[in-house]
């Protein structure tokens, strides 16, 4: 292996743990190898399979992979292979495309493996979170299929998502570091946001604080401010903030690729009494959900508990359990995805969710607050440390 750079990385024990799990799943399906394509879509969440298998990624790095059921793993990077050999110690065989043709080194490696009439798993071939039609590039796939006309290609996105869904203690530690980075960004918001400060400068301070704490780019950071209640936002404006503004955000920091998410509503100045009441009810609902997030509990039981407590306190709740991690982590349920099959899924220790509960009192504004929670035998453990309350900025 190359001399290692001074960068954070996961351990070789973590590599061996996950490679063994992936290869056991491959053996059950008689897969000779898995191939993944370079894809940095949806804030790099569509490169989750590649990063899970190679430990290579970040800063919109384009990386593909050939992962055999036995023998050496091969990563294909856009350029600078020597850098990536020193950035991690999991994969020694790091190649580059040939004149921009990514399939060429992948085909070379598959021929080395003797692929002929074998079964080959393809990440993102048919379906994925945030990409229901798949995301493996058509031209790349056609070149590979032409090179191996007798091979059988099948989608492994769900299989990989299930494997990624169960986090090791080392991965959970990355998630904890990730949410701490998000909270550092929110702390900076408290320091910077004042009437007269342009909206985009507060957003810039949020992003900078997360990078200073060791966060990665790109990372999802949806942000908006407006006078009073508003329904949606995506990017900051150039409007100066003013007293009474509400803050809407959805912040997913990343550490070693692991994304933990926080939704933190806020207000400049004294919060309206109905908003304070809504947050109080939100804490009651969220706590009921958190207690249900223990190993052996079904997804249906979690949603049932949320509905039950909401009825008791006289509000309506819309709940989502969004699998968090490298980007394709399962389960991911809520809304239209809450099918009988999804409700029957049993939670396991190590599942990590962004628990998003939109609580709407009978009177007054609804409120959405969210944190990342890990499933344990005794109930969900919040990974965030900030108190469950409004972000109130005195002015």
Q: Is the separation of the CB atoms in 113 and 71 below 8 Å?
A: yes
What mean pLDDT do residues 361-373 have?
Answer: 93
Phi, psi of 65 (to 5 degrees): -155, 145
Q: Residue 9: pLDDT band by 50, 70, 90 thresholds? A: very high
**Residues whose CB falls within 8 Å of the CB of residue 172, separated by 6 or more in sequence, listed in order:** 350, 352, 374, 383
Residue 2 pLDDT exceeds 80 = no
Tokens encoding 290: 């958190």
Q: Residue 242: pLDDT band by 50, 70, 90 thresholds? A: very high
* Rounded Cα–Cα distance for residues 126 and 155 (Å): 6
So what's the pLDDT on residue 1? 60
* Rounded Cα–Cα distance for residues 133 and 127 (Å): 5
Number of H helices and number of E strands within the chain? Answer: 11, 16
Residue 307 pLDDT exceeds 70 = yes
Q: Is the separation of the CB atoms in 167 and 349 below 8 Å?
A: no
Q: Is the separation of the CB atoms in 36 and 65 below 8 Å?
A: yes
Beta 266-268 vs 391-393: how paired, if at all?
parallel
Q: Residue 335: pLDDT band by 50, 70, 90 thresholds? A: confident
So what's the pLDDT on residue 106? 98
- Say which residue the tokens 């604080």 belong to: 209
What mean pLDDT do residues 30-51 have?
Answer: 96
So what's the pLDDT on residue 363? 85
Q: Residue 228: pLDDT band by 50, 70, 90 thresholds? A: confident
pLDDT single digits (tens) 80-111? 999 999 999 999 999 999 899 999 999 999 99
Tokens encoding 352: 């990590």
Q: Residue 372: pLDDT band by 50, 70, 90 thresholds? A: very high
Residue 336 pLDDT exceeds 80 = no
Q: Residue 232: pLDDT band by 50, 70, 90 thresholds? A: confident
What mean pLDDT do residues 287-292 have?
Answer: 97
Residue 231 pLDDT exceeds 80 = no
Helical ranges in the chain per DSSP H: 12-28, 48-54, 81-87, 103-112, 138-147, 157-165, 169-192, 199-212, 273-292, 299-313, 340-343
Nearest to 109 by CA among 205, 39, 34: 34
Cα R_g (the chain), whole angstroms:
22
Q: Is the separation of the CB atoms in 332 and 225 below 8 Å?
A: no
Average pLDDT of the chain to the nearest whole number: 96
Residue 11 pLDDT exceeds 90 = yes
Tokens encoding 358: 């939109």
- The domains found in the chain, sorted by start residue, are 12-165 (3.40.350.10), 169-393 (3.90.230.10)
So what's the pLDDT on residue 234? 93
So what's the pLDDT on residue 241? 97
* Rounded Cα–Cα distance for residues 252 and 358 (Å): 18
């Amino acid at each position: 292996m190359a001399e290692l750079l001074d960068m954070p990385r996961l351990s070789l024990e973590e590599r061996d743990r996950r490679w063994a799990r992936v290869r056991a799943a491959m053996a059950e399906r008689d897969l000779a190898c898995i191939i993944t394509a370079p894809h940095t879509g949806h804030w790099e969440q569509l490169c989750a399979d590649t990063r899970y298998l190679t430990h290579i990624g970040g800063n919109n790095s384009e990386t593909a992979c050939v992962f055999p059921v036995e023998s050496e793993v091969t990563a294909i990077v856009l350029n600078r292979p020597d850098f990536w050999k020193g950035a991690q110690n999991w994969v020694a065989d790091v190649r580059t495309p040939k004149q921009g043709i990514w399939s060429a080194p992948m085909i070379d490696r598959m021929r080395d493996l003797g692929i002929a009439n074998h079964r080959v798993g393809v990440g993102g071939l048919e379906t994925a979170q945030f990409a229901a039609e798949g995301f493996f590039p058509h031209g790349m796939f056609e070149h590979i299929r032409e090179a191996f006309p007798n091979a059988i290609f099948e989608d492994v996105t769900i299989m990989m998502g299930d494997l990624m869904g169960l986090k090791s203690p080392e991965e959970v530690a990355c998630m904890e570091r990730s949410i701490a980075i998000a909270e550092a960004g929110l702390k900076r918001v408290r320091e910077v946001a004042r009437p007269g400060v342009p909206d985009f400068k507060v957003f810039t301070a949020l992003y900078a604080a997360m990078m200073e704490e060791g966060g990665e780019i790109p990372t999802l950071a949806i942000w908006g401010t407006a006078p009073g209640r508003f329904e949606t936002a995506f990017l900051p404006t150039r409007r100066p903030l003013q007293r009474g503004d509400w803050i809407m955000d959805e912040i997913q920091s990343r550490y070693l690729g692991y994304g933990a998410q926080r939704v933190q509503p806020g207000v400049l100045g004294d919060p309206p009494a109905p908003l304070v009441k809504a947050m109080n009810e939100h804490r009651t609902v969220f706590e009921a959900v958190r207690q249900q997030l223990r190993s052996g509990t079904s997804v249906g039981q979690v949603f049932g508990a949320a509905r039950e407590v909401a009825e008791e306190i006289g509000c309506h709740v819309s709940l989502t359990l969004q699998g968090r991690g490298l980007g394709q982590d399962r389960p991911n349920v809520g809304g239209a995805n809450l099918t009988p099959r999804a409700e029957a899924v049993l939670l396991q220790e190590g599942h990590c969710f962004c628990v998003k509960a939109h609580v709407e009192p009978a009177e007054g504004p609804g409120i959405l607050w969210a944190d990342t929670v890990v499933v344990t035998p005794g109930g969900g453990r919040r990974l965030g440390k900030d108190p469950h309350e409004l972000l109130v900025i005195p002015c």
